[in-house]
Amino acid sequence: MAANHCSNICFLLLLLLSHFNLGKSQLQLNYYSQSCPKAEEIIKQQVIKLYNEHGNTAVSWVRNLFHDCIVKSCDASLLLTTVRGVVSEQTSGRSFGMRNFKFVNTIKAAVEEECPLTVSCADIVALSARDGIVMLGGPSIEMKTGRRDSKESYATVVEDFIPNHNDSISLVLSRFQSIGIDVEATVALLGAHSVGRVHCTNMVQRLYPDVDKTMDLAQAEYLKRRCPTPNPDPKVVQYSRNDQITPMIIDNNYYKNILQHKGLLTVDEELATDPITSPYVIKMAADNEYFHQQFSRAIILLSENNPITGDQGEIRKDCRYVNAN
């Protein structure tokens, strides 16, 4: 009777403990050390190889982390392609300009060859971003693994999570705050706009019919040459690089540029002038080391947003499709 009583309590305690352990705390360093010891090395080698062939793949891995993780969870839902019964998150207007998805399959195939059905696509999203950041001259970040893959796409709610290029800073901050990312970390994450490009569609409303009064005049003249018409043909690839000086380096040039009102997006400009964010922008512009520290901290927060772990979700065989069962 007494033993029975205890076992009930023990069971309840265990249940409680495992409940508190769900999510974040179940990610761990070197999660694949037993099941696939070479996983992280294989992913890194693939990221390096792809970077050497197509440098902008590394840029894509950074943007993928944002677009996957902020929408509910870092669960590779972003990678699901449109097939019968599934609408891809990639079809959202917020995903405009995203590229290189096909090379995720290259990474996944290399990992599958070593350890079939063991390493999640979600961890590939996270680790490829981590390794891509190093290729782009950013900090080395220690990252936990053990994320599992979603069985569904969240295409219908993407816009509830990912802000638009012209949203207010208060909206941007509240979106990040709602997944546990503070103001300083949010400012640091926007530093990813130190690499890559912006298509004219996302800038023309700042150029036509009148130039946005907040924009630096020389920059406006330059951007009007890059984007000569107010209605860019979506089929013609017209864009500007984010950072004209070091376009492939994650450095604090972004903050220097936005303080000079050379930001490309409305959110970039507003980040520099909003009284809540501008003190951090000024500090990051002055100190690349500090920017990298905050960027590392913020990337970890983003990459650990609400992971699905344990026996939730699945390990996809092909990152584009939910497993057939």
Ligand X SMILES: *[C@@H]1O[C@H](CO)[C@@H](O)[C@H](O)[C@H]1NC(C)=O
Which residues have a catalytic role annotated?
A: 67
Q: Does 167 carry a binding-site annotation?
A: no
Residue tagged 């979106």 (tokens)? 175
Q: Does 163 carry a binding-site annotation?
A: yes
Provide the minimum distance between the beta carbon of 109 and ligand HEM in the complex, in angstroms, as a whole number.
22
Distance CA 204, CA 154 (A): 29
Provide the minimum distance between the beta carbon of 224 and ligand X in the complex, in angstroms, as a whole number.
18
Instruction: Give the helix/strand (H/E) hosting 254.
Output: helix 253-259
Distance CA 307, CA 256 (A): 34
Q: Does 156 carry a binding-site annotation?
A: no
| The entry of ligand X, ligand HEM, none that residue 69 binds, CB within 5 to 8 Å by partner kind | none
Query: Considering the rule CB under 6 A, would residue 7 count as an interface residue with ligand X?
Result: no
Residue 102 bridge partners (DSSP): none
Amino acid at 198: V
Q: Does 267 carry a binding-site annotation?
A: no
Query: Considering the rule CB under 6 A, would residue 229 count as an interface residue with ligand X?
Result: no
Query: Considering the rule CB under 6 A, would residue 164 count as an interface residue with ligand X?
Result: yes
Provide the minimum distance between the beta carbon of 223 and ligand HEM in the complex, in angstroms, as a whole number.
13
CB 126 within 8 A of CB 145: yes
Provide the minimum distance between the beta carbon of 193 and ligand HEM in the complex, in angstroms, as a whole number.
6
Query: Considering the rule CB under 6 A, would residue 166 count as an interface residue with ligand X?
Result: yes
Start-to-end C-alpha separation, the chain? 44
Provide the minimum distance between the beta carbon of 159 and ligand X in the complex, in angstroms, as a whole number.
11
| The entry of ligand HEM, ligand X, none that residue 192 binds, CB within 5 to 8 Å by partner kind | ligand HEM
Q: Which is nearer to ligand X, 33 or 166 (CB)?
A: 166
Q: Where are the beta strands (DSSP E) in 128-226?
A: 197-199
Helix, coil or strand: residue 314: strand
Q: Which is nearer to ligand X, 113 or 210 (CB)?
A: 210
Query: Considering the rule CB under 6 A, would residue 56 count as an interface residue with ligand X?
Result: no
Show the tokens assigned to 303.
Answer: 């990459």
Residue 149 bridge partners (DSSP): 314
CB 46 within 8 A of CB 107: yes
Of 295, 324, 313, 320, nearest to 74 (Cα)?
313
Q: Which is nearer to ligand X, 152 or 212 (CB)?
A: 212
List interacting residues with ligand HEM (CB under 6 A).
Answer: 59-60, 62-63, 66, 96-97, 99, 163-165, 172, 189-190, 192-193, 195-199, 202, 265, 267
Q: Which is nearer to ligand X, 166 or 260 (CB)?
A: 166
> Percent helix, strand, coil in the chain (nearest 5)?
55, 5, 40
Cα distances (Å, whole numbers) of residue 86 to 77, 90, 118, 153:
11, 11, 24, 7
Residues 192-211 that bind ligand X (CB under 6 A): 205
Binding site for ligand X (CB under 6 A): 164, 166, 205
List binding-site positions for substrate. Answer: 163
